[in-house]
Amino acid sequence: MPIYEYKCRACGTDFEQLIIHSTSPECPACRSTDLERTFSAFAVSSETTRSHALKAGRKRGMAQVHDRQIAESDYARKHSSEDH
């Protein structure tokens, strides 16, 4: 049972799907079947692909930290103004 990677042409969502027998893939976000099967980075491994994956992971992690800091700041600001 292979796992394939797809990009939805309708909404742009990237996703993976396990294909069992004659399963027709559909986008989990918008349910469109207008999909493009993408090249799996998992199938290719080199120093360059590992480096790019590491950089992308760090970038996502920094974005999550930034989003969390903004949410905590907004929460603190909202609750400190309610205390007064």
The reply to whether the predicted model has a pTM over 0.75 is no
For residue 35, what are the β-bridge partners? 8
Please report which helix (H) or strand (E) contains residue 8, including its range. strand 3-8
Q: What is the DSSP letter of 40?
A: P
Residue 76 pLDDT class (50, 70, 90 cuts): very high
How many angstroms separate the CA atoms of 19 and 5, rounded?
10
pLDDT digits (tens, 9 = 90+) for 17-70: 888 887 889 999 999 999 999 876 565 567 887 888 889 999 999 999 999 999
